[in-house]
Structure 1
Amino acid sequence: MTPTLADRIDDLLPQTQCEQCGFHGCRPYAEAIAAGEAAIDRCPPGGAAGIARLAALLDRPVLPLDASRGIEKPRTLARIVEADCIGCTKCIQVCPVDAIVGSSKQMHTVVADLCTGCELCVPACPVDCIVLDPMPQAQADDRVHADAARRRFQRRERRLARERDARDRQLAASKVDVAAPAAKNAVLEALARAKARKKDNP
């Protein structure tokens, strides 16, 4: 299957899924670039080198990084200070690649090999127990790591979609369960009124 332009653009993005570009992940940003709806300068993790690669692929001028999206800096890995973690799960809920493991009211930990350095967990933590350590350059530059991050993001998105669908179906079913007795009661009341009218008007 021939890769689309969006596929080729997506392959050049760092797959941090950090949303600094203004899109929900790297793939939507790639699709927007391919459609001419977004500039190539909105990815701080990709930095100047990433912009240059996109410009070469698309035969566009190289642009400076859009400073409103953040600054270029070395990639980082999240690390949870275990002694301070309260097990709230807020970091787990926002991690786009399921790199954080733990359960409610239990200590959490970041699987460093899976972390993309998106930093979305940092503002989500209510007790500031997440610190950022330098990401090894080999990991930051590794396309195998990036491709794996893309797949984990896609799996998570599919799982969340299934969970939303299940909740929607459950909610719809509960509404039917609530509505059914009400409808039955309405029918019984209508029959009672009709019977009363017939009795009053033989």
Structure 2
Amino acid sequence: MTLVSALIVLGILALIFGGILGYAAIRFKVDADPLVEQIDEVLPQTQCGQCGYPGCKPYAQAIADGDEINKCPPGGDATIQKIADLTGREVKPLEGGDDVKKVAYIREDECIGCTKCIQACPVDAIVGASKAMHTVLIDECTGCDLCVEPCPVDCIDMVPVAGKPETWRWQLNKIEITQVS
């Protein structure tokens, strides 16, 4: 009989505390800023920290609070344009960018297969197996540079990506027009 009464008391306490928690969740609910959520959806979610923030969500919050919109190298110009459209701000060139996209390159003959770079890559752009050479999927790599630091043999370099016909575009602001007389 004492076991049954103990279970009943425990059940009643669980209902009471559950009710209190449910009420508190509704009463003290904090609504998130929808702009922060929209900006966060546009960011590439690499959590690389190149913007100076520990991840994409803190950077989205900073943008909503007035920080610059051009600090995300993995997102590139397309992300800057989308954020500018969302926030109504002016499009600016990528901060600190030299317009040359870089990707990781693993010198495969020096790779020892430790998998530390694979674990560090936020977008799974590095493939390989333990104690076997690794390689980078160039189309997936965002150039976040997070794989370079953990490599114990320093066999990863950041190299510029060669342009492809699909990604080529006119650099109108860099062309000087001279008048022929």
Q: TM-score, normalised by structure 2?
A: 0.55
Deviation, structure 1 residue 134: 0.3
Q: Which whole-Å CA distance do the structure 1 matches of 2:43 and 2:151 have between them?
A: 27
Aligned AA (1:114): E
Q: Is residue 121–residue 147 contact of structure 2 (8 Å, CA) maintained in 1? A: yes
Correspondence for 2:21: none
1:78 equivalent in alignment to 2:108: no
Q: 1:39 matched to which residue of 2?
A: 68
Decide which moves more: 57-66 or 124-133.
Answer: 57-66
1:95 aligns with 2:121: yes
Residue in structure 2 matched with residue 28 of structure 1 by the alignment: 58
In structure 2, stretches of 5+ residues that fail to align are 1-33, 169-181
Residues 111, 130 of structure 1: alpha-carbon distance in 2 compared, 3 angstrom cutoff: same
| More displaced stretch, 104-113 vs 56-65 | 56-65
Change (3 A) 1:11 1:136: farther
CA distance in 1, matches of 2:124, 2:42: 22
In 2: Cα distance, 1:10 partner to 1:136 partner: 29
In structure 2, distance between residues paired with 1:28 and 1:135: 32
Q: Structure 1 residue 9 and structure 2 residue 9: aligned?
A: no
CA contact (8 A) 1:17 1:24 kept: yes
Deviations 1:96-116 (A, max 9, x none): 122222333322222334322
Query: Which residues of structure 1 form unaligned runs of 5+?
Result: 141-202
**Alpha-carbon shift at residue 92 of structure 1 (Å):** 1.5
Partner of 1:18: 48
Give secondary structure in 2 for the equivalent of 1:121: coil
Q: Secondary structure at the match of 2:149?
A: helix
Q: Aligned equivalents of 2:91 and 2:110: distance in 1?
A: 44
What's the offset of the Cα at 1:21? 0.9
Q: CA RMSD in A?
A: 3.4
Matched residue of 1:105: which SS? Answer: coil
Which residue identity is paired with 1:76?
K
Structure 1 residues 50 and 111, CA gap change in structure 2 (3 angstroms) = closer
Q: Is contact 1:82-1:107 (8 Å) kept?
A: yes
CA gap of 1:74–1:21, structure 2 versus 1, over 3 A, is same
Change (3 A) 1:72 1:26: farther
Return the match for 2:88 from 50, 53, 59. 59
Q: Distance between the aligned counterparts of 2:69 and 2:155, measured in 1?
A: 34
Q: 1:60 to 1:133 in 2, by over 3 A?
A: closer
Whether the aligned pair in 1 keeps the contact of 2:100 and 2:160 (CA below 8 Å) is no
Letter in 2 for 1:121: C
Tell me by how many angstroms 1:51 deviates: 4.1
Equivalent position amino acid for 1:60 in 2: R
